[in-house]
């Protein structure tokens, strides 16, 4: 019977990393590489800033919790977190592309809306209400290429009460070429 810390398996370490930062370590490394090699973030940015930004996006902690976890001044931390969040957002144009028509296979995407909780906006409005969470949320439309598994479309955010079909009709539907298909749930 041992009393010291047990060694964790690589699988457990990866699982815990993903629980904290929302992605596996190899994906984290790719994001860091893309941010640093592109013009998306200042050169002074450190990998600690990316850890803070991804933790913030994954857990949505209070500023005080975040500052104590990363042992940084809250104002400085906020500055770097938002710098990296906007840098990651700029990667969207490079990484998420609607594929060009090609080959004999008809392009097929799977489309769905996903809700993301938010703090209650002020002033109060019922338009932020999400049936899924019974509280305030924003909704994104996401399309996945069913042949490759790549994300090819993200549209949003929209207020939580917005209907998936309405979002589809005013966005992605116009981009799907004639003879191609989109698969969706009942919504």
Q: Would you say how long the chain is, in residues?
A: 187
pLDDT (average), residues 58-66: 87
Report the 3 state secondary structure along 19-73.
HHHCCCHHHHHHHHHHHHHCCCCCCCCCHHHHHHHHHHHHHCCCHHHHHHHHCCC
Rounded to two decimals, the pTM is 0.61
Question: For residue range 165-176, what is the model confidence (pLDDT) as tens digits?
Answer: 888 888 888 888
pLDDT at 6: 72
Q: Do residues 181 and 108 touch, judged by C-beta distance below 8 A?
A: yes
Q: Mean pLDDT for the chain?
A: 84
Confidence band, pLDDT 50/70/90 cuts, at residue 164:
confident
Greatest mean pLDDT range, 139-143, 161-165, 179-183: 139-143
Beta pairing class for 108-117 and 181-184: parallel
Confidence band, pLDDT 50/70/90 cuts, at residue 105:
very low
* CA–CA dist 30, 54 (Å, integer): 13
Residue 106 scores a pLDDT above 80: no
User: Do 157 and 86 belong together in one domain?
Assistant: no
| b/e per residue 41-57 (b: at least 16 CB within 10 A) | beeebeeebbbbbbbbe
Residue 102 in domain: no
Q: What are 172's two structure tokens?
A: 């992605």
* CA–CA dist 24, 54 (Å, integer): 11
Residue 100 in domain: no
User: Do 90 and 46 belong together in one domain?
Assistant: yes
User: Do 145 and 167 belong together in one domain?
Assistant: yes
Greatest mean pLDDT range, 5-9, 23-27, 129-133, 180-184: 23-27
């Amino acid at each position: 019977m041992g009393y010291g810390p047990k060694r964790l398996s690589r699988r457990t370490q990866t699982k815990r990393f993903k629980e904290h930062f929302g992605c596996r370590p190899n994906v984290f490394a790719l994001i860091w590489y893309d941010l640093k090699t592109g013009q998306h973030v200042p050169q002074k940015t450190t990998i600690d800033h990316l850890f803070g930004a991804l933790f913030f996006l994954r857990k949505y902690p209070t500023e005080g919790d975040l500052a104590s976890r990363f042992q940084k001044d809250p104002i400085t931390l906020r500055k770097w977190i938002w710098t990296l969040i906007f840098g990651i957002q700029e990667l969207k144009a490079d990484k998420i592309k609607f594929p060009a028509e090609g080959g004999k296979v008809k392009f097929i995407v799977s489309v769905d809306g996903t809700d993301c909780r938010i703090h209650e906006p002020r002033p109060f409005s019922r338009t932020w209400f999400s049936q899924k969470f019974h509280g305030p949320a924003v909704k994104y439309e996401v399309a996945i290429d069913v042949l490759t598994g790549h994300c090819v479309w993200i549209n949003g955010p929209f207020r939580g009460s917005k209907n998936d079909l309405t979002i589809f009709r005013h966005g992605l539907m116009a981009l799907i070429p004639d003879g191609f298909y989109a698969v969706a749930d009942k919504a």
